[in-house]
Each structure stands twice: as structure tokens, then as C-alpha cells.
Amino acid sequence: MENKKELGNWLNNFGLDHPLVIAGPCSAETEEQVLRIAHELKDTDATVLRAGIWKPRTRPGNFEGVGALGLKWLQKAKEETGMLIATEVANANHVELALKHDVDVLWIGARTTVSPFIVQEIADALKGTGKTVLVKNPVNPDLALWLGAVERLYTADIKNLGVIHRGFSTYEKTRYRNNPEWQLPIDLQNRFPDLPLILDPSHIAGRRDIIFDLCQTALDLNYDGLMIETHYDPDNAWSDAAQQITPSTLIKFMDDLKIRKETGEATEFKNKINTLRTQIDVIDHQLIDMLGKRMKIADDIGLLKKSHNVAVLQTKRWNEILGKMILQGEEKNLSEEFILRVFKAVHQESINHQDKIINS
Ligand code: PEP
Ligand code: MN
């Protein structure tokens, strides 16, 4: 697949003067809950009401969704508020039921995108329906797998497409529930500038206090929309309680977020430079993170050296590291002088750390 202008037409047709906002609970719980949230979102920037009906859970035993019954509640919310409705589909049967209930936007969940068989089944079931389909990134950071799912839908004549960035799972615990790995969606955006890119900060964060900053980063990176889990009583939500925000918090976020919507040559330059600067910020964050991780390992080595009475400075090993880094740097167009300076500084910090450990 290559970039095609038509990919984003559905979004342009909405005629919004701000990014698309999809909001609503992680799960539809009761009819009252769905309707109340829909009414609280009705006159906000949110255009689409989301709610999970079938919930894919990593482990069994958690709330697995109300099933097809919830589609009636969504349909009623649509009738009462005029909002468009969206839900997750994970097989052909879900698609059939969602179509029957006039669901406007169908999304493919992160655990489904990983399976080409299921994505194909969904694509076949959607063929010729003219629906809008959003593909969440697969749980693992694999751009080809993500694009492959988009391609299967495109080949099945589904042209109203978009992607949702919801982060990637990692074995080690980080501050995020799912690591954003911004570089992946940035690469995707560079290759498919017309494919709408939507951020799901809720599943990246896993907690509500960092959702705002994630949204702002995405807007600075020129994302086209946000999908935010919203519930009037987040703490008592039946799923993903820690990450949901109330409709009034959502309204406040929309007021406080800086959205770049002006156009013109000077603005275009400003937008471009802001996007590039945000990309640099993302990488700088990663650099600090990696340096911190490296230093933690140096600390462990310090402890080991202490218990075995070994000297901190191991000149032979250090020279080997430097030699390798200079060669690797050359491949990336980084001068020997620069690599030497950076790694001498890193090495000195390690030695300081280990000296402290050994002398404590
Ligand atoms: C969801 O949107 O509630 C959901 C289950 O998301 P994901 O597929 O990103 O885990
Ligand atoms: Mn959820």
C-alpha cells in the first residue's frame, strides 16, 4: 500500500476545526451508564461515542463485556444525542452484529491486529459496507504487522481507514501501562501522511494523571484525533478504572490543550518545526531513560566488584567498548571525536557511581 489522499476523506468530511475526539467508557456496563455518559458528552468536542461491548482480556476472569445487548444501548445513545457510535470488533460475528445496530466506526483491538487470519476475516465481513474502520497498533512494536492489517482492509475495499496508537506492551514495568514508542507512529505518519492517526492515551497511560501530557505530545506531533476513555464514575468502572476520566475532565482538557489549527505559510513552517522538535524531545527522553538504565547496570557491577574485591577501572574492557562504539558511530555518520567525548562522559559517570558503591 502507498499513501493515498482518499484515506483521510472520511475525516475531512466531518468538517471539524479541531482534532477528532472519540470518547466514552472502556466498557458498556448498563443502559443507564451508556446513556448518561452519552448525554454528558453530547455538547462537547467529542463527535464519536465509544464503548467496548466484547472485551478482550489478557487474563480470564475479568469483566468480558455485556455482549450484543449493549449494542442496543449504543444505538439508543445515538438516537438520543446524535453522536456517532464506535465499538471494537474481534471477529466476523461481531461485525455482523455491529452492522445490524448501525455502528458507525468499528475498531480492531490491539490483541486482534496481531492475527492476520482474524483481520482478514473481519476485512471480508466488512467488504462493501462503506464503514469507517480504525486499526489499533498490535500489542508488540511491529510496524509491518500494523500496516499489514490496514492493507488487508484496504484490499477489501474499505477506504475509510485510520490507525489508533495505544502503545506497546513491555515485559519490564515502566511508567506507562503500554510504552508509547513514539518513533513507530512517527515512521508510519511519514510514510502515510494522509492516513488519520489517532492517539489512545488511556491505554498508553493506564492511569489518569499522565493523559493530558500524552494528548499534548500527540497534538504537537500533528495527530488527527484522540480516543479517550471517559466515565462519570471512573473509580467504579467495571474495566480500566484507573485510566478513565470524567466527561468534565475531558471538557477541561479540550480547553487546555494547545491545538494548532491555523494555516498559512508562516504557520506551516511553525507546525513543521514544532513537529520535528517534538520528535527530538521524544528521542531525548529515550536517551535519558537508556542512560539511567545503563547506570543501574553499572551499579550492579559495582556491587559485584565490591563483593569480589575487584578494582573499579578495567582498562582493557573500556578500550574494547570504545573501539566498538567508534565503529558503530561511523556507520551512523557520527565522528570519532564525538563518540569519544560522549562515552568518556558516560564512563566517568559510571566510575563515579561505582566508586560511591565501593566506598560505602
Ligand atoms: C479498549 O479500547 O478498551 C481496548 C481493549 O483497547 P486495546 O485493544 O488497545 O487494549
Ligand atoms: Mn479499556
Q: State whether the beta carbon of 109 lies less than 6 angstroms from ligand 1.
A: yes
pLDDT at position 51, please? 98
d(Cα 117, Cα 245) in Å, to the nearest integer? 34
Burial (0-12, 13-18, 19+ Cβ within 10 Å), 311: exposed
Bridge partners for 105 per DSSP: 86, 132
Q: State whether the beta carbon of 166 lies less than 6 angstroms from ligand 1.
A: yes
Maximum Cα–Cα distance for the chain, whole Å?
Answer: 75
Whether 183 contacts 164, CB under 8 Å: no
pLDDT at position 262, please? 56
Per-state percent for the chain, helix, strand, coil, to nearest 5: 55, 10, 35
Q: State whether the beta carbon of 52 lies less than 6 angstroms from ligand 1.
A: yes
Question: Ligand 2 center to residue 204 CA distance, Å?
Answer: 10
- CB-based contacts of 85: which residues, under 8 Å, 6+ apart? 48, 49, 50, 51, 74, 75, 77, 78, 102, 103, 104, 105
Q: Estimate the crossing angle of helix 116-126 against helix 92-100, to 10 degrees.
A: 30
d(Cα 175, Cα 35) in Å, to the nearest integer? 33
Question: Ligand 1 center to residue 203 CA distance, Å?
Answer: 7
Q: Which residue's CA lies nearest to atom 10 of ligand 1?
A: 110
pLDDT at position 317, please? 87
- Among 175, 149, 173, 171, smallest CA distance to 162 is for 149
Q: Decide: pTM greater than 0.85.
A: no
d(Cα 253, Cα 219) in Å, to the nearest integer? 12
Q: Estimate the crossing angle of helix 143-155 against helix 116-126, to 10 degrees.
A: 30
Task: Quote the cell numbers at residue 321.
Answer: 567498548
- CB-based contacts of 313: which residues, under 8 Å, 6+ apart? 351
- CB-based contacts of 111: which residues, under 8 Å, 6+ apart? 56, 58, 90, 139
From the alpha carbon of 50, which atom of ligand 1 is closest? 2
Q: State whether the beta carbon of 165 lies less than 6 angstroms from ligand 1.
A: no
Burial (0-12, 13-18, 19+ Cβ within 10 Å), 228: buried
Question: Ligand 2 center to residue 106 CA distance, Å?
Answer: 15
From the alpha carbon of 227, which atom of ligand 1 is closest? 2
Three-class SS of residue 135?
strand
Give the tens place of pLDDT for each residue, 25-34: 999 999 999 9
All domains of the chain, ordered by start, with CATH?
A: 5-259 (3.20.20.70), 266-358 (1.20.59.10)
d(Cα 155, Cα 2) in Å, to the nearest integer? 12
pLDDT at position 36, please? 98
pLDDT at position 183, please? 87
pLDDT at position 59, please? 80
Q: Which residue's CA lies nearest to atom 1 of ligand 1?
A: 26
66, 112, 203, 244: residue to mutate for ligand 1 pocket, most atoms within 8 A of CB = 203
Question: Ligand 2 center to residue 51 CA distance, Å?
Answer: 9
Give the 3-state DSSP-derived string for 215-258, with helices as H, strands as E and coil as C: HHHHHHCCCCEEEEEECCCHHHCCCCHHHCECHHHHHHHHHHCC
Type and span of the H or E element at 206: none
The closest ligand to the CA of 50 turns out to be: 1
Q: Which residue's CA lies nearest to atom 2 of ligand 1?
A: 26
The closest ligand to the CA of 164 turns out to be: 1
Question: Ligand 1 center to residue 108 CA distance, Å?
Answer: 9
Q: State whether the beta carbon of 152 lies less than 6 angstroms from ligand 1.
A: no
Neighbours of 354 (CB within 10 A): 23
Q: State whether the beta carbon of 237 lies less than 6 angstroms from ligand 1.
A: no
Question: Ligand 2 center to residue 334 CA distance, Å?
Answer: 43
Give the up-direction half-sphere exposure of residue 17: CA atoms within 13 A in the CB hemisphere. Answer: 2
Three-class SS of residue 166?
coil
- Among 2, 106, 41, 57, smallest CA distance to 246 is for 41
Task: Quote the cell numbers at residue 84.
Answer: 456517532
Whether 137 contacts 113, CB under 8 Å: yes
pLDDT at position 197, please? 97
Question: Ligand 2 center to residue 203 CA distance, Å?
Answer: 6
d(Cα 331, Cα 345) in Å, to the nearest integer? 21
From the alpha carbon of 109, which atom of ligand 1 is closest? 8
Question: Ligand 1 center to residue 211 CA distance, Å?
Answer: 15
Give the tens place of pLDDT for each residue, 79-132: 999 999 999 999 999 999 999 999 999 999 999 999 999 999 999 999 999 999
pLDDT per residue, tens digit, the chain (360 aa), is 888 888 999 999 999 999 999 999 999 999 999 999 999 999 999 999 999 999 887 788 888 899 999 999 999 999 999 999 999 999 999 999 999 999 999 999 999 999 999 999 999 999 999 999 999 999 999 999 999 999 999 999 999 999 999 999 998 888 899 999 998 998 898 889 999 999 999 999 999 999 999 999 999 888 999 999 999 999 999 999 999 999 999 999 999 998 865 567 777 787 788 778 888 988 998 899 999 999 999 999 999 989 998 887 778 888 898 999 999 999 999 999 999 999 999 999 999 999 999 888
Type and span of the H or E element at 68: none
